Amino acid sequence: MEKRVVFQNRFLPYLLVAPQIAITLVFFFWPASQAVVQSVLREDAFGTTSYFVGLENFQLLFEDEYYANSFKVTALFSTLVAVLGLSISLLLAVTADRLIRGTMVYKTLLIWPYAVAPAVAGALWGFVFLPGPGVFAWLLGQMGVNWNFHLNGNQAMFVIVVAATWKQISYNFLFFLAGLQAIPKSLIEAAAIDGAGPFRRFWTIVFPLLSPTLFFLIVVNVVYAFFETFGVVHSLTRGGPAKSTEILVYKVWYDGFEAQDLGGSAAQSVILMAIVIGLTVVQFRYIERKVHY
């Protein structure tokens, strides 16, 4: 059954959605349109004049090996963050689902990281991994690893993946736990009587029933890794060393605000916009329909 609210006053509904529409227009549509406009312009060195260059900004981008590198870095980074974040949080959720005592404490503690701002999370992990005095760095040093993520690109990638994943686990955990608790206990019991052991039950019953949650989270995690990890990267590696952790959003900011190439930066924004639109379409069109059992 569909519940519909019927408004007596014809203007009230518009009035009620007006604040949201205003926010969307001012903070989303207007900047987005500015980015599109900017992406076909080029500014002079002092930012006083700009002129139309067509698609030249895009053309330059696709010839730029740093941009290709940034794509690769982002692909690796978001894959690692999504896969690690989802696996760890699924494991934690399954464990929490089995707990009988202390569930509240466990859940509360797991949700805390979500409340930490990305830049702060980055700073925290920066301390942990700080070459020399950092706890983790010290441990690795004891094991004979030459640790310095400011110099080693792979180590730098490792650090931002850990920080970004850690922050996202809470969110994934909540959704997985809710998904697990929505599965009737009798299904698991029926499978146990039918002869399935714990692993079999998980892969043939629980996991398929979690798949809508999982696909939703994959999209959310990829979007997170693409767009919301700027703070983590900025506070930990600043895209370095040697651009080994320069993910796309970081490059947008760097090229625009540090390198002062507003046109190129805007062109990158437009490409990112296209990616996020693509992901959203996938989420709403394809996944919502296909993954339902």
Partner 1 sequence: MAKVSLQGVKKNYGSIRVIHGVDIEIKDGEFIVIVGPSGCGKSTLLRMIAGLEAITEGSIGIGDRVVNDIEPRDRDIAMVFQNYALYPHMSVFENISYGLRIRGMSKADIQKRVDRAADILQLQPYLQRRPRELSGGQRQRVAMGRAIVREPSVFLFDEPLSNLDAKLRVQMRLEIKRLHQQLGVTSIYVTHDQVEAMTLADRLIVMNQGRAEQIGSPAEVYSNPATTYVGGFIGSPPMNFVPCKVEAGQAVLDDGTSLALPERLRGTPAGAYILGIRPENMHVAQPGQGAQFTLAVDVAEELGADTLLHGKIAGTDVVVRLPSTAGFHDNSRPSLVADMAQVHLYDRESGRNIH
Which positions lie near partner 1, rule CB under 8 A?
Answer: 184, 186-187, 189-197, 200, 204-205, 208-209, 293
By beta-carbon proximity to partner 1, the closer residue of 192 and 275 is: 192
Residues 6+ apart with CB under 8 A from 241: 150, 151, 152, 153, 156
By beta-carbon proximity to partner 1, the closer residue of 132 and 197 is: 197
By beta-carbon proximity to partner 1, the closer residue of 10 and 101 is: 101
By beta-carbon proximity to partner 1, the closer residue of 115 and 193 is: 193
Give me the least distance between CB of 285 and partner 1, in Å please: 21
Give me the least distance between CB of 111 and partner 1, in Å please: 29
Give me the least distance between CB of 59 and partner 1, in Å please: 48
Structure tokens at 236: 């930990």
Burial of 227 (0-12, 13-18, 19+ CB in 10 A): middle
Q: What three-state secondary structure class fits 41?
A: strand
Give me the least distance between CB of 184 and partner 1, in Å please: 7
Q: What three-state secondary structure class fits 293?
A: coil
Give me the least distance between CB of 287 and partner 1, in Å please: 15
By beta-carbon proximity to partner 1, the closer residue of 47 and 197 is: 197
Place of tokens 């982002």: 74
**Angle between helical axes of 65-98 and 103-111 (0-180°, round to 10):** 170
Spatial distance between the Cα atoms of 38 and 55, rounded to a whole number of angstroms? 11
Give me the least distance between CB of 108 and partner 1, in Å please: 25
Spatial distance between the Cα atoms of 89 and 217, rounded to a whole number of angstroms? 11
Sign of the CA dihedral running 227, 277, 221, 67? negative
Place of tokens 């693509």: 278
By beta-carbon proximity to partner 1, the closer residue of 204 and 280 is: 204
